Chain A
Amino acid sequence: EVQLVESGGGLVQPGRSLKLSCVASGFTFSNYGMNWIRQAPGKGLEWVAYISSGSSYIYYAETVKGRFTISRDNAKNTLYLQMTSLRSEDTALYYCARLQSYYFDYWGQGVMVTVSS
């Protein structure tokens, strides 16, 4: 059974940093591109970042480019999102999601990030 389990969220002050993790199981992690997608409270979905299976290709949404860094450790079956210079508008539930061809076929349950003083 495919499982994606996020962790690392919490309450953080504006301007500070936070690192999210997503541990994958039930599939060969190193064969798939992975993504972070977020959802602000009561709002829609916003794709945040993508990393290819071997980390050769990385894309970011303009709203986070230069502040967030996506990475992965295929030996540990783990996806990361390093978030710096956090803003109130980064407050959201952050999902990791597997990319199958060009659709998100498995999602984690999400981890909440709240940016507030």
Chain B
Amino acid sequence: DIQMTQSPSLLSASVGDRVTLSCKASQNIYKYLNWYQQKLGEAPKLLIYYTNSLQTGIPSRFSGSGSGTDYTLTISSLQPEDVATYFCQQYNSWPLTFGSGTKLEIK
């Protein structure tokens, strides 16, 4: 199975900051990487698919990049409504696997 490692596990930043979340795969996943946002008490929501494609309706301050084993989710200007846990997920091979998440807080 492909292991997905996210860092940091907890991130505290100020409103307006540029924030970068990392996700590392245990092997090359050829950009087959998605990002989800989960707010407290809610189901996860798709943000980005195939490394850098923004899902419909997601604000443009969210962006993704990466290749090989290393991927990032960037929020260009952090907003209060971005407080959530963010998960990456690979689909290079079955079983589909998620990272353990990065919890994002406002400082």
| Interface set of A (CB-CB < 8 Å, partner B) | 44-47, 50, 59, 61-62, 95, 101-105, 107-110
Contact = CB atoms under 8 A, between A and B. Distances in A.
Interface in B75-102: 87, 89, 91, 94-101
Interface residues of B, number: 22
B37 to A, nearest CB: 11
A105 B45 CA distance: 7
Interface string B37-71: 00000011110011000010000000000000000
B95 A104 contact: no
Contacts of A50: 94, 96
A108 B42 CA distance: 10
Contacts of A110: 43
A44 B46 CA distance: 15
Contacts, number: 50
A104 B36 contact: yes
Nearest to B1: A62
Interface of B is mostly: loop
B43 A109 contact: yes
Contact of B87 (A45, A95, A105, A109): A45
Contacts of B87: 44-45
Contacts of A102: 32, 34, 49, 91, 96
B95 A47 contact: yes
Given A104-B36, A107-B44, A44 B98 contact: yes
